[in-house]
């Protein structure tokens, strides 16, 4: 049986290296399939989009959405972040808020384009149930303030299944449903199964294939500078413990985001 491991381990290392090579070979973030229809510049005077990432906790942006942020910035779009909670489950809320601003600085998102809420009914925790109507109300305030035209958020599985992530998705869904003008485009980060989630750069092959064949508009956004993810996550010093360092190395969300239109 030992021969199986002698083949499998070098094979896996080779596949990892080839996949990473494909990701690093581009000088700029890109999407697959390459398409001018994916988040094109707006018509009229304002060509760049005002994109709002609606997230649940400080560090969601760095741990899961870095490929998306770097792609949007590379296209000249204006990225804003609404973080719905302080991430105060362990009593570190104010520290985590400051860490979020530091992480955003590494991603070139200005502090005035980052809003962190601390609402009594929207506190961090696995057992907290967030009010979707309240999420609509508070998200709409930021949409109007920042003149947002595009939203990016979690999908209904919330990447990790965290109920706060899932509630954020349901809040955005409700907002889209209630927005009669239909002037907001929204995309969700596709949650991957456990094998794909921990396949690092290797998932680029499956993500690009499934994006091309999906019935719903879906694109795979590739981060050609994964070191930026490490830099952003390291700014969350209170969270930068050994298992998150390992997660960021193994996670396909460091290298790739699959975005599906809601």
By CB under 5 A, name the binding residues for Zn ion: 56-57, 60
Residue 185 DSSP SS3: strand
What is the chain's alpha carbon radius of gyration, rounded to the nearest angstrom? 18
Q: How far is the CB of 162 from Zn ion (least distance, A)?
A: 5
Q: How far is the CB of 2 from Zn ion (least distance, A)?
A: 41
Q: How far is the CB of 29 from Zn ion (least distance, A)?
A: 23
In this chain, which residue has its C-beta nearest to Zn ion? 57
Complex with Zn ion: residue 78 or 164, whichever CB lies closer:
164
Sheet (strand 256-261) strand order: 30-32, 218-222, 256-261, 185-189, 150-154, 50-55, 78-83, 114-116
Q: How far is the CB of 161 from Zn ion (least distance, A)?
A: 11
What letter does residue 147 receive in the DSSP assignment? T
Complex with Zn ion: residue 56 or 259, whichever CB lies closer:
56
Complex with Zn ion: residue 60 or 188, whichever CB lies closer:
60
Instruction: Please report which helix (H) or strand (E) contains residue 189, including its range.
Output: strand 185-189
Complex with Zn ion: residue 33 or 125, whichever CB lies closer:
125
Complex with Zn ion: residue 151 or 204, whichever CB lies closer:
151
Token digits for 100? 């979020």
Complex with Zn ion: residue 85 or 218, whichever CB lies closer:
85
What letter does residue 197 receive in the DSSP assignment? H
Cα–Cα dist 105/26, whole Å: 24
Please give the biggest Cα pair distance in the chain.
66
Complex with Zn ion: residue 47 or 245, whichever CB lies closer:
245
Q: How far is the CB of 160 from Zn ion (least distance, A)?
A: 7
Cα–Cα dist 172/136, whole Å: 7
Q: How far is the CB of 165 from Zn ion (least distance, A)?
A: 6
Cis peptide upstream of residue 33 (ω within 30 degrees of 0): yes
Residue 175 DSSP SS3: helix
Q: Which residue from 205, 258, 246 is spatially nearest to 18, judged by alpha carbons? A: 205
Q: What angle do CA 159, 13, 20 make, to 5 degrees?
A: 60
Q: How far is the CB of 135 from Zn ion (least distance, A)?
A: 15
Judge contact between 260 and 188, C-beta under 8 A: yes
Q: How far is the CB of 50 from Zn ion (least distance, A)?
A: 23
Complex with Zn ion: residue 65 or 230, whichever CB lies closer:
65
């Amino acid at each position: 049986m030992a021969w199986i491991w002698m083949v499998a381990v070098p094979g896996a290392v080779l596949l990892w290296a080839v996949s990473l090579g494909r990701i690093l070979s581009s000088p700029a973030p890109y999407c697959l399939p390459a398409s001018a229809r994916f988040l094109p510049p707006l018509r009229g005077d304002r060509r760049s989009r005002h994109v709002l990432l609606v997230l649940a906790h400080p560090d969601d942006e760095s741990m899961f959405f870095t490929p998306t942020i770097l792609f949007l910035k590379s296209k000249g779009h204006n990225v804003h972040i609404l973080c719905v909670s302080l991430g105060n489950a362990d009593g570190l809320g104010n520290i985590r808020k400051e860490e979020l601003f530091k992480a955003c600085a590494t991603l070139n998102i200005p502090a005035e384009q980052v809003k962190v809420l601390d609402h009594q009914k929207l506190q961090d925790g696995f057992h907290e149930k967030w009010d979707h109507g309240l999420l609509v109300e508070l998200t709409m305030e930021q949409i109007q303030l920042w003149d947002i035209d595009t939203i990016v958020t979690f999908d209904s599985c919330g990447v990790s299944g965290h109920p706060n992530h899932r509630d954020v998705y349901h809040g955005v869904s409700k907002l889209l449903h209630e927005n009669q003008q239909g002037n907001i485009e929204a995309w969700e980060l596709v949650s991957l199964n456990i094998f794909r989630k921990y396949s690092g750069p290797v998932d680029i092959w499956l993500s690009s294939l499934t994006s091309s064949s999906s019935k719903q508009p879906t694109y795979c956004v590739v981060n050609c500078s994964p070191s930026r993810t490490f830099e952003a996550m390291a700014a969350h010093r209170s969270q930068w413990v050994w298992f998150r360092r390992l997660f960021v190395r193994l996670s396909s969300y460091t290298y790739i985001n699959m975005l599906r239109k809601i």
